[in-house]
Amino acid sequence: MKKFKSHFQFSKEQQSGIFFLLLFIVILQVVYFLVRNGVFTSSTNGLTHNAELQSKIDSLKNQSIEKNTFKIYPFNPNYISDYKGYTLGMSVEEIDRLHSYRALNKYVNSTADFKEVTKVSDSLLGVLSPYFKFPDWTSKIKKNATSVGFVKKPIVSTAYDVADINTVTAEELQKINGIGEKLSARIIKFRDRLGGFLVNDQLLDVYGLSPEVVVRLLKRYKVISKPNVVLIDINNATAYEISKLIYIKYDLAKHIVAYREENGAFTSFADLINIEGFPANKIDRIKLYLSIDKK
């Protein structure tokens, strides 16, 4: 009996070894069970799914941001409204400075002018200035004024008595370098259609008359006596009556009347800018021949 018991008696070291061996076997069984049932695989897949889901969420966020971002299109900075200025990032003071300047019937014709008038920061100006769209004639005049200084020709000093552009004849105009028979006739016809020039800048509106020739012409002839022009009341005139003004073709005149009928009487000449096809860059000259009856 004693001999039989001795086979099942273990020292403390042996008992510890057996215990750790059994524990190791149990751990192996548990790991085998988990792997077989796909626990680790599903966890990995879950992480993959979470990454894909997060990627979709980020994509939707980016799309939302793009939709809500204000996209800037080319515009004439002379006609920035309060709302437009706000969306562009201008402060109330900067917008007010521009409106006060425009109230004096003055216009900004370059990025430098805009900076000087509004006092906007250089950073904001850097964002907005690429979208500024000024009338073509302003850049042509500046180009001409710059290039004149590089012409290496002897300058002949000739003094002329400046005469009235509203009384000049076609023959007299032809004495100006760059103005021939056809162009002189076109200037006279344009003047007659207007009822007379009110400002010198209107010469820039004569088809075929380049800014360089205008500069030359204004050395000899300018608006001295302003004609008595019959103003067109845009709140009561018909499309035909409005189209008599050379700046406004009949189709545009119909749009003006349609806008008036849909939105009510005009309260400001600035309302005309909202009409599709209206030459906003010429409004300062066009409004000289218009009136607004607010009754």
> 148 falls in which pLDDT band (50, 70, 90)?
very low
Q: List the structure tokens of 78.
A: 């002379």
**Percentage of the chain modeled with pLDDT above 70:** 75
For residues 125-132, average pLDDT? 87
Query: What share of the chain in percent tops pLDDT 90?
Result: 29
pLDDT of residue 84: 82
pLDDT in tens, 73-107: 788 888 888 778 878 888 888 888 888 888 777 88
Q: How confident is the model at residue 254 (pLDDT cuts 50, 70, 90)?
A: very high
Sequence letter at residue 263: N
What are the Cα distances from residue 98, in Å, to 57, 207, 232, 278, 287?
43, 31, 29, 22, 20
Rounded CA-CA distance 98/116 in Å is 10
Contact 90, 99 (CB under 8 A): no
The answer, yes or no, to whether residue 142 has pLDDT greater than 80, is no
* pLDDT tier for residue 125 given thresholds of 50, 70 and 90: confident
Q: Which residue has the tokens 């990627």?
A: 55
Identity of the amino acid at 88: L
Distance CA 257, CA 275 (A): 10
Does residue 109 contact residue 102 with C-beta atoms inside 8 Å?
A: no
Average pLDDT of the residues in 263-290: 90
Joined tokens for residue 125: 């100006």
* Cα–Cα distances in angstroms (integers) from residue 184 to residues 84, 177, 285, in the given order: 42, 11, 21
Comparison of pLDDT for 100 and 69, the residue scoring more? 100
Q: Which of 204, 210, 211 is nearest to 279 (CA)?
A: 204
Residue 245 to residue 256: CA distance in whole angstroms:
13
Q: What mean pLDDT is predicted for residues 114-137?
A: 84
Beta strands in the chain (DSSP E): 163-164, 221-222, 232-233, 290-291
Beta strands per DSSP E along 176-253:
221-222, 232-233
Report the alpha-carbon distance of residue 2 to residue 45 in Å, rounded.
60
What does the alpha-carbon distance between residue 141 and residue 161 come to, in Å, rounded to a whole number?
Answer: 24
User: Any idea what DSSP says for residue 154?
Assistant: P
**Domains defined along the chain, listed by start:** 77-134 (no CATH), 140-222 (1.10.150.320), 232-291 (1.10.150.280)
Distance CA 93, CA 118 (A): 8
**pTM score:** 0.45
Positive or negative torsion for Cα 178, 182, 186, 189:
positive
How far apart CA 203 and CA 214 sit, in angstroms, is 7
**278 close to 258: Cβ distance less than 8 angstroms:** no
| Euclidean distance between CA atoms 95 and 160, whole angstroms | 43
Interacting residues of 105 by C-beta distance below 8 A, sequence separation 6+? 284
